[in-house]
Chains A and B, each alone.
Chain A
Amino acid sequence: MISLNSVSKQFNNHLALDNFSLEIPEGEIFALLGPNGAGKTTTINLLLGFLSTDSGTVSVAGIEPFKNPAEARKIIGYIPENVNLYPQLTGLENLKYFTQLASSTYSDEDLRHFLSTCGLQKSAMDRPLGTYSKGMRQKVGIAIAYAKKAKILLMDEPASGLDPLASKELSDLIRKLAKMGTTVLMASHDLFRVKETADRIGIIHQGKLLKSLKAAEVTANDLEEIYLGTIV
């Protein structure tokens, strides 16, 4: 579903990705684990079609995102580190607006259902987003992707700054989406959350994918040891 093949990307004199390859099959949750500046966000931007490669190929469901961004984005959902939607609009209105942009028309009932599926309390749906906690905003962000029926969900540090409960709820939600067939790529440096959420974990450092592990096969402590051993 997601494929990066021998991708290199350089910004000025900094090599952000160096002959980077990655394959993520449909329905898998893949976590890119790495320190700041390792190349995680660059990978996501390449998949979103915001950047072109210097060499190598990138495809999502067989579509090259940079060459055909409109087509690629039809099947992608994106959750940034901070889902700063419009604070003056309610959660429901934000969802309505973003689904309209994706050329979808849903009734308010459907939209409430999406929000509810993504874990947002009913009482919060008609409140301005400015009053939401970060976790609640993340839920609205995921509801946008869910309503879009995105086949691929790209998440950039989604759990950063969330309290443990909100973080757990987010993991559950991601897994729920994956079970429905959504392929998820999440970039993070939170070892514990990655271990809890992902099917597979890739350790990225200086633009190279140094290791790829099955989350089920390692404990959190092992993962920490491997991670530190790899990047230091």
Chain B
Amino acid sequence: MKAIIWNEWILLRRNPWFIGLIIVLILIVGLTSYFGVAETKKLIAMEAEASAEIRSQWDNQEAGNPHNAAHYGTYLFKPSSALTGFDEGVNGVVGKTLYLEGHRQNEIQYSEASQSLQISRFGKLRPALLLQLIIPLLLIFLVFASIRTERESDRVRILLVQGGDFRQILFGKIIAYWLLSVLFLLVTLSLQLILQSEKLTTEVILRTCLIGVGYAAFYWIISSCTAYLTANLRQAGTALSLMLACWIVWGVFLPKISGTLGEQLYQLPTRQAFADGMRADRASSLDGHNPEEEKLAALKDSVLRKYQVETVEELPINFDGLLMQADEEVGNVVWDKHFGDLNKVLRKQKTFTQVSSIPNPLQSLQSLSMGLSGTDYFHHADFMLKAEQYRRQFIKSLNEKHAYGGSKTGDWEWAADQEFYRSLEDFSYSAIPLNQVFNILWTDVMILFGWVIGGFLLINSSKFRI
């Protein structure tokens, strides 16, 4: 087998066209890595600058009523993950700016995709695009050409008579080209790490390594399927046509079809219906006949009892702050329900696309790649949830200041000093830890693993036929 692998490399090395192609591809891979990382760095710098500006506006606001500050609110800018430069995932379409304020949860806005004419249908020329679509195409051509020439020149019979085993010959060729594709992978991933060495963490290195394993598995699948078809189909052209068809169906057709089908099977509400649902629940929560309203009355009673006074005006604290917080908590429950429902539908859609990728390992790889790069829907939803948690804490601090800061009920002119606003903690985001990422991506991992085993079995079952 070593001789077969070595021989394939000698043959490739002596083909000037091939050497030229490899150099061009490595250059492209290198440049895309560089540009991807450069854009990510630029974005990270912009996010930091914007966050600092918003924070400085917050810190420098004049002394004022905490409830006004809750309406003034703050903005968060969704941080770009370190591997966004490798695989942008959903980041180009989900927006980056989120307004946090009292009483309501806003949607993240101003996506890059909404700021210009459509530029491409397959996304930016990022390493992920090259490694998911272009390198497999090259692999298909190379493995096909190698096995086809052995067959068409009748060299395969000499190889077999010389003692070569047909399966060994196939495995040898697959490994030779698979290793070549792994070279591209190594160049790309190493560049990802080198170009942002200043921000490397163990988590990022681990994620990068796992991305490498996922792509290497996919290259094995592509190589073994091409080798199997080329070796077993009488018409070599049919094998190539079939593999190219697979490439198009896997890379272009099925992902779009399954994504759209998933949305049609598990329908999301329209924005209007979602807002109406929230509004209706919120309104019913504040209805006088509603238990929530009773809760507010109960709150008032318990506070009055606690401070042993008859009216809220007599309270040493500002009851308005407590009311605001109670209202906030009612709103939070409503949001949790609706956002939870939305999340359930999106999870069902994701599960559907994951399961529908059983016949399409490329889709599993795409999901795995986005997930490990921290740019898939789950990472986005995680950011939204953590931002909401922060909003709740942020507004709670303001409401508590309103309640216990020293003002009396009904005193809307009371002002908290700058010191207080400056003391509120800033938002800091850490992405889903890697072990949790696997809870989401295990389906993709299993599908890829199944295909890798399938590839082994296919080649193992191959027999030379005249």
Contacts and interface: CB of A to CB of B under 8 A. Distances in A.
Interface string B433-466: 0000000000000000000000000000000111
B464 A102 contact: no
Given A45-B466, A50-B464, A89-B11, A84 B161 contact: no
Interface residues of A, number: 32
Contacts, number: 68
A78 B464 CA distance: 16
A93 B466 contact: no
A97 interface: yes
Contact of B162 (A81, A83, A86, A102): A102
A214 B272 CA distance: 97
Interface string A88-105: 110001000111111100
B273 interface: no
A70 B163 CA distance: 6
Given A88-B15, A100-B3, A80 B160 contact: no
A31 interface: no
Given A97-B7, A101-B3, A78 B157 contact: yes
A93 B163 CA distance: 17
Given A80-B157, A82-B154, A97-B3, A88 B163 contact: no
B7 A73 contact: no
A72 B30 CA distance: 51
B197 interface: no
Nearest to B164: A101
A48 B158 contact: no
A48 B155 contact: no
Contacts of B157: 48, 50, 78, 80
Nearest to A88: B14
A160 to B, nearest CB: 13
A86 B11 contact: yes
A144 B155 CA distance: 12
Contacts of B164: 101
A73 B153 contact: no
A50 to B, nearest CB: 5
B158 A89 contact: no
A158 interface: no
B14 A73 contact: no
Nearest to B149: A84
A5 B238 CA distance: 38
Contacts of A81: 154
Interface in A52-92: 69-70, 73-74, 76-78, 80-86, 88-89
A94 B158 CA distance: 12
A85 B163 contact: no
Nearest to B153: A84
B10 interface: yes
Contacts of A86: 7, 11, 155
B159 interface: yes
B162 A80 contact: no
Contacts of B162: 73, 98-99, 101-102, 144, 148
Interface string B356-393: 00000000000000000000000000000000000000
Closest 9 CB pairs of A and B: A84-B153, A78-B161, A88-B14, A101-B162, A100-B3, A102-B163, A80-B154, A102-B162, A101-B164
Interface of B: 3-4, 7, 10-11, 14-15, 153-155, 157-165, 464-466
Interface of A: 45, 48, 50-51, 69-70, 73-74, 76-78, 80-86, 88-89, 93, 97-103, 128, 141, 144, 148
Given A101-B3, A128-B14, 19 more contacts: A45-B466, A48-B157, A50-B466, A73-B163, A76-B161, A77-B161, A78-B158, A82-B154, A84-B154, A84-B155, A86-B7, A86-B155, A88-B10, A88-B15, A89-B11, A89-B14, A93-B10, A98-B158, A98-B159
